[in-house]
Amino acid sequence: MAHLITLEDLNTSINSEPRVLDLKLAKALGFKEPRMIRKLIARNVESLKQFGSLHMEQTPPSAKGGRPTTEYWLNKKQGLFLCAKSSTEKAALVTIEMVEVFDEYTQGKLEAVLAAREAQKGSRYGTPPALSNMPAVQQRLPLKHKPIDPKAIHDAVDEVLTVLGHFKLMTQQGHQSKASTKVHNLLLDAARNACSEITKQVIFHC
């Protein structure tokens, strides 16, 4: 199952703060007409401002004509507030993914993910790059000498082992058919994160 919100959806060019586009959030939430989220924003402007500046940008009319439109770039708390207000079927799932994605950004994973995906274009699962692709990754990652962080590698690998443990338990309890797809995706994500962390540690010492 594809993620509804990913690290690539974050815009960090606005006051160096990660934000997500209102229409992207609307599509993730399952709005039939994504622009309807702007009416929800308009009804809750004052509440949204309690979570920080409400960043607006004017977009020019399309080639077919029409009026300029205003798009909103929402920070984490503003996005979560709108998830709660939307009352859509996907609201709970999108809320979870928003928290996870913004947390990944604060952990410094955005640059590594973008670099790995760029180096692995065409890969079925988007796995971290092989050693032959290291130079491409190095161009996107800050290179500086520092000691290998055993805890970072341990935590990353432990995440994979934890997911495997849950999968084994669910299989023993007869829930494999219901959970296999979800656990498979979680396992891929955990493995990707673990390999990305190990890749970074290797790069720092090349």
- The reported pLDDT for the residue numbered 136 is 45
- The reported pLDDT for the residue numbered 131 is 39
- The reported pLDDT for the residue numbered 191 is 66
The three-point CA angle 177-180-182 to 5° equals: 125
- The reported pLDDT for the residue numbered 11 is 93
Mean pLDDT for each consecutive 10-residue tract of the chain (206 residues)? Answer: 87 92 97 96 97 93 81 97 95 95 84 58 47 43 51 64 60 53 63 64 50
- The reported pLDDT for the residue numbered 71 is 96
CA–CA dist 104, 110 (Å, integer):
7
Model's pTM, two decimal places?
Answer: 0.54
- The reported pLDDT for the residue numbered 145 is 45
- The reported pLDDT for the residue numbered 195 is 64
Token pair in block for residue 48:
């949204």
Task: Write the DSSP string, 28-88.
Answer: HHT-SSGGGHHHHHHHTHHHHHTTS--EEEEEPPBTTB---EEEEEE-HHHHHHHHHHH--
User: Directed axis angle between helix 176-203 and helix 110-119, to 10°?
Assistant: 90
- Any idea where the domains of the chain sit in the sequence? 7-106, 110-203
